[in-house]
Amino acid sequence: MDKVVASAALAVADVPDGATVAVGGFGLSGVPNVLIGALHDQGTTGLGVVSNNCGAMDSGLAVLLAAGRIARVTGSYIGANKEFARQYLAGELEVELIPQGTLAERLRAGGAGIPAFYTPAGVGTLVAEGGLPWRYDGSGGVALASPPKEVRTFDGTDHVLERGIRTDFALVRAARGDRHGNLVFNKSARNFNPLAAMAGRITVAEVEELVEPGGIDPDQVHLPGIFVQRVVALTPEQAADKKIEQVTVSDRKEQG
Superfamily name and number for 1-115+164-256: Glutaconate Coenzyme A-transferase (3.40.1080.10)
Instruction: Give residue 116's pLDDT.
Output: 98
- The alpha-helical segments, DSSP class H, found in the chain are 8-11, 33-41, 62-66, 82-89, 100-111, 126-129, 193-199, 236-240
| Beta pairing, strands 183-184 & 157-163 | unpaired
By percentage, how much of the chain surpasses pLDDT 90?
Answer: 86
Domain spans of the chain, in order of start: 1-115+164-256
Q: pTM of this prediction?
A: 0.93
User: Is pLDDT of 1 > 90?
Assistant: no
Average pLDDT of span 189-195: 96
Torsions phi, psi for 35 (to 5 deg): -65, -40
Using only C-alpha atoms, the chain has a radius of gyration, in whole angstroms, of 19
* pLDDT greater at residue 254 or residue 123: 123
pLDDT digits (tens, 9 = 90+) for 143-166: 999 999 999 999 999 999 999 999
Q: What is the average pLDDT across 233-245?
A: 85
Q: What is the mean pLDDT of the chain?
A: 94
Query: Taking residues 176-188, what's their average pLDDT?
Result: 97
What share of the chain in percent tops pLDDT 70?
98
Evaluate if residue 256 carries a pLDDT over 60: no
In whole angstroms, give the CA distance from residue 152 to residue 169: 32
**pLDDT computed for residue 228 by the predictor:** 98
pLDDT at site 240: 86
3-class secondary structure, 102: helix
**Residue of 182, 247, 220 lying closest to 28 (CA atoms):** 247
